[in-house]
Amino acid sequence: MDERDVYRAQEAMKSAMKKGPMRLALIIGAILVFFLFLNPWVQIGAGERGIVLDFGAVQGNVLGEGLHFRVPIMQKVAIMDVKVQKSLTNAAASSSDLQEVSSEVALNYHIVQDKANVVYQTIGIQFKERIIDPAVQEVVKAVTAKYTAEELITKRPAVSEAMRAALAERLLAHNIAVDAFSIVGFSFSKIFMEAIESKQTAEQLALKSKRDLERIKIEAEQKITAAKAEAEALRLQRANISSELIELRKVEANLKAIDKWNGILPQVTGGGAVPFIGVGDIQKK
């Protein structure tokens, strides 16, 4: 091997050493890009939970809010909303007195957070249509049948609480918690509403008649009391009248007449006598 061959070998080694790190860096970069392309990270938002699926099989761990790592290709994460949600349901039922009742109820509920994977596995994400709406229908029918149509109106708080308790127990078995329950409204048949209106009118008229009768009784009692008081006063006056009192009253009457006299004597009458009221009585005294 001459000097030129040795020189060429050295140059080849130097060129290979320069290209090696660059190739390694390119390979590592390509691996990282491919790794990021597989999206190994998953972000769970506020009020959500992540259901881990290993090749489609639901796992026991539930991912909370934040950023989590998943094994690409093997693992997928399904998002479940565990915030409080509202549901409005219309239900038809019959009361204990066989009146048709249409109800509209509002329900606030949420998925039990640490059981989100069980709900996803056993029910799926259509839990409202599959579980909640049928449960509301059944509970409303069962509770409504225990009350008369009139009691559904007059005992509305008790009816609402009975429905809430029954629904909460029923949904909790499916890992769904009830936050609030309210009856938006009851509606009855036209005939029943007319009957209720007639009954209320009759009750109001009866109440008015009762009040009028009580008022008449009170007025009559007042008149009787006043008459008794007046009669008692007259009795006392009669009891206190004596001959001396009568004479005193005559004197008082004459004195008043004198006070009112203007000093002019009346014209002489046919008999020639000049009348002077009460003078004889005064002289007698």
State pLDDT tens for residues 247-276: 767 777 777 776 776 666 555 555 555 554
Residue 101 dihedral angles phi and psi, to the nearest 5°: -130, 130
Q: Is the pLDDT of residue 216 over 50?
A: yes
State pLDDT tens for residues 224-239: 888 888 777 777 766 6
Q: Is the pLDDT of residue 178 over 80?
A: yes
Select from 34, 62, 40, 61 the least CA-distant residue to 50: 62
pLDDT of residue 149: 85
pLDDT of residue 229: 80
Q: What is the average per-residue pLDDT within 24-43?
A: 68
For the chain, give the mean pLDDT: 79
Q: Which of 87-96, 171-180, 214-223, 249-258 has the highest mean predicted lDDT (pLDDT)?
A: 171-180
Enumerate residues 6+ apart whose C-beta is below 8 A from 96.
145, 146, 147, 148
Specify the fold of 85-188. Tetrahydropterin Synthase; Chain A (3.30.479)
Q: How far apart are the first and last CA of the chain?
A: 189
The per-residue b/e assignment along 1-39, b for 16 or more CB within 10 angstroms, e otherwise, is eeeeeeeeeeeeeeeeeeeeeeeeeeeeeeeeeeeeeee
Angle 156-172/133-144 helices, nearest 10 degrees? 140
Stated pTM of the model: 0.56
